[in-house]
Amino acid sequence: MTERTDKPAQAVLDAPAAGSPRRPPALSEPRPLGERRTWPATFADRLTEPLPGLRSLSRIAREGSTRPDPATLREVPLLPCEPAPLPPVDAATAAVTWAGHASWVVRIGGLTVLTDPVWSRRILGTPARVTPVGVPWEDLPPVDAVVISHNHYDHLDAPTLRRLPRDTPLFVPAGLGAWCRRRRFARVTELDWWEAAELPSPGGGTVRFDFVPAHHWSRRTLTDTCRSLWGGWVLTDRHGQRIHFAGDTGYGHWFAEIGHRHPGIDLALLPIGAYAPRRMLRPVHTDPEEAVRACLDLGARRMAPMHWATFLLSAEPPLEPLSRVRAAWAAAGRPREDLWDLPVGASRILGQPNPHPRPRPDPGPRPL
């Protein structure tokens, strides 16, 4: 491992210039796995918009507008949840399984990759999950890598990570490596925006992990606001299959820039929930219509919604994100089979058709 001091390049701080060339820029050379680096004391200059102040947060708390109306909670038993065995795949096949919230089991290039794994029933400061985890931990294949989008508790879950062998490769945002190493993870790779690393895969190939920007922020304690970076990931196998995992994000110019630098995205995993009230959450969480717009900006062929139907983090009715994303997708004129609106626990293999949804009977309350 080498020790480096890295300063953020101005290019990653600025919005893409109007009239930029259509040819994508060359991707960066992969960084060494496990490289130890020194980062700036803060990444606050990467914020798209200022964080809400105490006055704004106090007003929203007084109004009690951060949770769904109790009358809409009758929708909770109708949230789609259909756990099923993981489909068989080979090194030439890419597949995704939604475990709930922003947690996916991504199998690409022969590797099994977890995104923002949260297998806990409850996370700090949040009501318990309203649907069970889509994939029981004991049913997971060996985990080859984990990608983390940022350090909020519903995306970086220490109890879940403790279940992993400490030699599991972790790909994390700049500034988060020390947190992982304190928990004895030995293979931690921190990346800045537009940087990448590669992990060997079965059959002699590699999977490339590109860290890309997002419109969000970071904080885990009262004193570490924006001390680590936030972002999404683009995973590409040796056959060129490409999956974008957006993590947690608002809508903005970065989606078009990601699509420009990473053309041919086959599938975009995009958040559609935790968007109300908009005056508070618009800068950091896309609503369903913005998620569809982000998919168009990315140039992605398919979209799989996430960040809903798991934890009730905000005020919209539990089922509203699904109905709104379906309507927005249809309004955009996109093929219905390219919207992978999966139930929790369901899988899809790239190239498989998406059957139209069928009416679901009310199953009644489920044990968690």
Given a cut of 70, is residue 247 above it in pLDDT?
yes
Instruction: Please state the rounded mean pLDDT for residues 129-148.
Output: 98
Average pLDDT over residues 234-248: 97
Higher-pLDDT residue of 364, 326: 326
For residue 367, pLDDT over 50 is answered with no
At residue 366, the pLDDT reads 39
Average pLDDT on 259-288 reads: 96
Pairing of strands 103-108, 95-100: antiparallel
| Per-residue pLDDT at 105 exceeds 60 | yes
Question: Whole-angstrom Cα distance, residue 305 to residue 331?
Answer: 16
Q: From CA 283, how far away is CA 286, in angstroms rounded?
A: 8
Distance CA 189, CA 194 (A): 14
Q: Which residue has the higher pLDDT, 19 or 45?
A: 45
Q: How confident is the model at residue 109, as a pLDDT?
A: 95
Q: Contact, 236 vs 210, CB < 8 A?
A: yes
- Cα distance between residue 291 and residue 309, in whole Å: 16
Provide the pLDDT confidence category of residue 61 given band limits of 50, 70 and 90.
low
Q: What local confidence, expressed as pLDDT, does residue 201 receive? A: 93
CA–CA gap between residue 264 and residue 113 (Å, rounded): 20
Structure confidence at residue 8 (pLDDT): 43
Question: What pLDDT is stored for residue 270 in this prediction?
Answer: 99
The three-state secondary structure class of 232 is: strand
**pLDDT tier at 202, thresholds 50, 70, 90:** confident
Taking Cα atoms as reference points, which of 234, 231, 227 lies closest to residue 284? 231
Question: pLDDT band at 149, cuts 50/70/90?
Answer: very high
Q: Please report the pLDDT score of residue 113 as a whole number.
A: 98
Mean pLDDT of the chain: 90
**Would the pLDDT of 195 be above 70?**
yes
| Alpha carbons 284 and 130: distance in angstroms, whole number | 23
